A = this chain, B = another copy of it.
Amino acid sequence: MSSIKDVAKLAGVSISTVSRVLNETAHVSADKKERVLEAVKQLDYSPNPAARSLLLRKTGVIGVVVPFASGEFFSEFLKGVDQTASDLEYFLLISISHRSEADLRKAIRSLEKRVDGLIVWAPEMKAGEVLGLLSEATHVLLLNTYAEDGESDLVDFDNYGGMCAVVEHLVGLGHRDIAFLGGPSSAVDAKDRLRAYRDTISQSEIPPRPELEFDGDFTVEAGYAAAARIMALQPRPSAVAAANDQSAFGIIRGLLDAGLEVPSDISVTGFDDVPSSRYMYPPLTTARVPVRQMGELAVETLVDRIIENRKEPRRELVNVELVVRMSTGPPSASRS
């Protein structure tokens, strides 16, 4: 590995001059400049990032902490993040799987020293908790987190509104017995979606049936398991709203395996609109979360904060849009 000294020696100049040429930080005479460039090429030299960040107090790296979320959803987000980060010349230090909350905290803390800024998606933690782990000076952007207003930079999407739209769609089709499969009750997004379900039901003047609410964890398996219990209900619901697409896939699979048809026997909805939702059988009615765009927005906002050294927190709210496909329809005539 060649260092700036080697370049300087080969070019017959001081290391200051080499640095000046490479960073274009001051004018150097034409011949020396050329000699330096030639030496750089010959030695295939590039500056040592560690030395650089030690001195400049910046690393050119953004840390990303994401939950152990479902495959497609999470990878779409990362694509958005990666795309934008590489456009803005940042590297990505990523931490994905956290077996425990302690593990997650440790990951956040140990990332801090290595990055210029941190994107944290931790739906089970409050903003204050995350910020409490970190130095005042660290630039942080929180995603989809329970936060007081103005606590931190935020990118959020409208879990509540999205789920309201979904349930209203079902109600509008004539459904009255609508089951709900939730996500992990500790996560904000899951909580908001559940709240939206309950509010919409009660606003529609449908008598609440608490036994229609099921606990899940955003996985296909949970959906599959829930399907059996949903079919056993009396009277059987004519629709199920799942807290995300993954668990909706599981529900549909369970229903089909039991010989029921979707949507003619039971309508099913998801949440997220992951890419494969429109290729499912039947194509899934769901709420579209522009997760890739959120990744882009997150990086842009964070980098703006880093570069401008902005102090005032910024909050970005992205819309969630109902997408009606084939997995929902009116309740079957036989039931009404």
Binding site for B on A (CB under 8 A): 1, 46, 48-51, 53-54, 59, 61, 68, 71-72, 74-76, 78-79, 82-83, 86, 91-97, 107, 110-111, 113-114, 135, 137, 220, 224, 249-250, 252-253, 256, 274-276, 279-281, 283
Contacts and interface: CB of A to CB of B under 8 A. Distances in A.
A93 B96 contact: no
Number of copies: 2
Nearest to A262: B281
Contacts of A61: 93
Main secondary structure of the interface of A (DSSP, over half): helix
A213 B212 CA distance: 49
B94 A94 contact: yes
A100 B54 CA distance: 32
A110 B92 CA distance: 12
Contacts of A82: 94-97
B71 A97 contact: no
Contacts of A274: 71
A86 B97 contact: yes
A249 B278 CA distance: 10
Nearest to A274: B71
